């Protein structure tokens, strides 16, 4: 694990990856396990009495199916937000955190180019996301029978989790690139979480305003659940868009990083 920058970063993140995996499995699984309770006549009627606007804001437009419930509560909200927080904290660590701790000088004085270092660490971050989201996927599969989620197939879950990996990588990329370009943790955290908050509003709240429906197309949350992968399978367009943005943002950040001075 001490062989190169890629494995070292993952090795150093091992505790954090373990804790985040547990948190997401427990929280996501806990919500999913609640489905049989939600799926009872009394609760369904109560939910239908919510005002239309509130239901849209919370993505509660379809709570009568397991996929609609999971999209609204787990994939579009709680797990998505947890993963944004993970992406922002890990993305900050890639360059800016290391630089502000004054530990970056030593590594960059070794025979590693800056671009190499940055790309290896970002790749390592993506692998950490794949690990977290995959374990969570296995957890959800294990819940299909006990939580009565049988209207969703293994493949539909897989499609949803591919979206989740790309979504999390996008926030990691934005945060990493800001930190790599500026060397400042505060900028990285600010921009990363700022894009998260704006993206969230751009999907649930802003499109309800007259004439602003199109804004949801700009939201990463829309790319995550707008095409309803839990029901419709993999949304190739959304995935390619997220993949392309991750590539472009990472390239920009790495390029800016290779050109600037490293802070002491």
Partner 1 sequence: MSDVAISTEGLVKDYGPTRGLAGLDLEVRTGEVYGFLGPNGAGKTTAIRLLLDLIRPTRGKAVVLGLDPRTDGVVLRRRIGYLPGDFAVDGRQTGAELLTYLGNLRGGVAAARIDELAQRLDLDLGLRIRTLSRGNRQKVGVIQAFMHEPDLLILDEPTSGLDPFLQHEFSDLAHEVSADGRTVFMSSHVMSEVQRTAHRVGMIRDGRLVTVERVEELRERSMRKVEIQFGGPVRAQSFVGLPGVTDLRVNGSVLRCRLDGRADALVKEAARHTVVTLSVEEADLEELFFHYYDQSDEAGGAA
User: Residues interacting with partner 1, by CB under 8 A?
Assistant: 2-5, 8, 12, 101-103, 105-113, 261-262, 264
User: In terms of CB distance, is 121 or 163 closer to partner 1?
Assistant: 121
CB of 200 within 8 A of CB of 222? no
Q: Do 122 and 173 meet the contact criterion of CB atoms below 8 Å apart? A: yes
- From 87, 104, 91, select the one nearest 5 (Cα to Cα): 104
Longest CA–CA span in the chain (Å) reads: 66
- Please give the Cα distance from 6 to 135 (Å, whole number): 21
Q: How far apart are CB 10 and partner 1 at their closest, in Å?
A: 13
Minimal distance in Å, beta carbon 11 to partner 1? 9
Q: Which residues contact residue 176 at a Cβ distance below 8 angstroms, ignoring those fewer than 6 apart?
A: 91, 92, 94, 95, 118, 122, 125, 188, 250, 253
Nearest distance from C-beta of residue 129 to partner 1, angstroms: 22
Q: How far is the CB of 131 from partner 1 (least distance, A)?
A: 20
State both tokens at 26.
Answer: 């427990």
List, in order, residues 6 or more apart from 225 with CB less than 8 Å away: 59, 71, 75, 76, 80, 163
Q: How far is the CB of 116 from partner 1 (least distance, A)?
A: 8
Helix (H, G, I), strand (E, B) or coil at 17: helix
Q: Closest CB to partner 1 among 26 and 108? A: 108
* In the complex, minimum distance from the CB of residue 121 to partner 1, in angstroms, rounded to a whole number: 13
Query: Closest separation between CB of residue 15 and partner 1, Å?
Result: 9
Q: What is the DSSP string of 26-88?
A: HHHHHHHHTHHHHSSHHHHHHHHTS-HHHHHHTTTT--SSHHHHHIIIIIIIIHHHHHHHHHH
**Minimum CB distance to partner 1 smaller for 12 or for 56:** 12
Q: CB of residue 100 vs partner 1: minimum separation in angstroms?
A: 10
SS3 231: helix
**Which CB, 125 or 170, lies closer to partner 1?**
125
Show the 3-state SS of 130-151.
HHHHHHHHHHHHHHCCCCCCCC
């Amino acid at each position: 694990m001490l062989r190169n920058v890629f494995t070292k970063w993952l090795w150093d993140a091992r505790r954090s990856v373990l804790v985040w995996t547990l948190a997401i499995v427990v929280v996501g699984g806990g919500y999913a396990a609640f489905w049989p309770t939600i799926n009872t006549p009394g609760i369904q009627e109560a939910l239908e009495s919510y005002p239309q606007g509130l239901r849209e804001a919370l993505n509660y437009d379809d709570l009568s199916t397991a996929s609609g419930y999971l999209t609204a509560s787990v994939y579009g909200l709680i797990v998505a937000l947890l993963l944004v927080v993970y992406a922002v904290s890990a993305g900050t660590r890639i360059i800016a955190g290391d630089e502000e701790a004054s530990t970056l000088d030593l590594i960059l004085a070794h025979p590693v180019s800056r671009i190499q270092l940055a790309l290896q660490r970002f790749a390592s971050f993506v692998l950490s996301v794949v690990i977290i989201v995959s374990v969570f996927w296995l957890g959800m599969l294990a819940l299909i029978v006990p939580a009565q989620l049988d209207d969703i197939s293994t493949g539909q879950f897989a499609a949803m989790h591919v979206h989740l990996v790309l979504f999390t990588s996008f926030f990691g990329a934005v945060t990493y690139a800001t930190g790599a370009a500026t060397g400042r943790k505060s900028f990285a955290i600010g921009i990363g979480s700022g894009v998260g908050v704006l993206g969230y509003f751009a999907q649930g709240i802003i499109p309800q305003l007259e004439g602003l429906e199109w804004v949801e197309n700009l939201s990463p949350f829309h790319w995550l659940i707008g095409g309803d992968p839990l029901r419709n399978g993999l949304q190739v367009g959304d995935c390619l868009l997220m993949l392309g943005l991750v590539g472009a943002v990472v390239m920009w950040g790495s390029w800016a990083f290779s050109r600037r001075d490293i802070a002491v």
